[in-house]
Amino acid sequence: MGVHLEVYSSKSNFKNLLSGLRSLVQEGGIRSLWRGNGINVLKIAPEYAIKFSVFEQFKNFFCGVHTSPLFQERVVAGSLAVAISQTLINPMEVLKTRLTLRFTGQYKGLLDCARQILERDGTRALYRGYLPNMLGIIPYACTDLAVYELLRCLWQKSGRDTKDPSGLLSLSSVTLSTTCGQMASYPLTLVRTRMQAQDTVEGSNPTMLGVFKRILSQQGWPGLYRGMTPTLLKVLPAGGISYLVYEAMKQTLGVQVLSR
């Protein structure tokens, strides 16, 4: 739903969450609410595996296995991990965006979508939105980690143990920090989505600056945050649970890594 609001919602064609859901169901039925979910599930495994493994490797490289990394080292490690994972899975992001925004009967499936993109635009189309995606990593990583560290610091000052915080604390800290990170980088995320969907939107501009100017001229600064509500609503079930499962699997498998 967030992708539809990011691409189609404007001052002249304003859509909120409910009206967006209604239009999707009217066009393609209940199944349309899960468009693009197949490729989204497929990309999760390589995306998170690469991101988490690279993150831990860079942290160990910077400060060793038994030393707590400094904040700036965590920012660098997190940024590099996300940059590498996003570079490798960017084509899948483009396919997910196109499949999510497709109309009924437009594509026969994932392979047909990839074939049409390659035939019409070539391989470069699979990396549309790459630049704003990379630029968005820095504000996201800095904000996410800064808020997370602040919450851990407050927890420590309260006199409680930070080595093994409760699941509720972990979930709350990760959810809040991820939410703040999403808000800090959202304008670039919106531009990335518009660039990936440029074939879907008539008259869209393929350059990052062109998309920025188009949004500002047509919708003003609030336009850079169109569709943010469903994006933030999914942070709790998606981001929080993924980190809790990650920590649980580390303990189950006996993997020795540094704290976040």
Beta strands in the chain (DSSP E): none
- Give the pLDDT of residue 67: 64
Instruction: From the options 3.40.50.300, 1.50.40.10, 3.40.190.10, 1.10.3730.10, give the CATH code of 2-253.
Output: 1.50.40.10
d(CA 106, CA 104): 6
Tokens of 13: 């064609």
pLDDT tens figures, 222-235: 888 888 888 888 77
Instruction: Give the percent of the chain with pLDDT over 70.
Output: 77
CB of 1 closer than 8 Å to CB of 25: no
What average pLDDT does the chain have? Answer: 78
Sign of CA dihedral 223, 228, 230, 231: positive
pLDDT tens figures, 144-197: 877 877 777 777 777 665 555 555 666 677 778 888 888 899 999 999 988 888
Looking at residue 43, its amino acid is K
Please compute the mean of the pLDDT values over residues 74-100 and round it to a whole number.
88
Which phi and psi (to 5°) does residue 231 adopt? -65, -45
d(CA 114, CA 126): 9
pTM: 0.76
d(CA 88, CA 98): 18
- Which residue's structure tokens are 């910077």? 62
Domain boundaries, the chain: 2-253
> How many residues make up the chain in this entry?
260
pLDDT tens figures, 121-142: 888 889 989 999 999 988 888 8
| Per-residue confidence band for 258, with pLDDT thresholds at 50, 70 and 90 | very low
d(CA 83, CA 104): 34
Q: Is 215 helix (H, G, I), strand (E, B) or coil?
A: helix
d(CA 51, CA 29): 35
- Which residue's structure tokens are 């989204």? 40
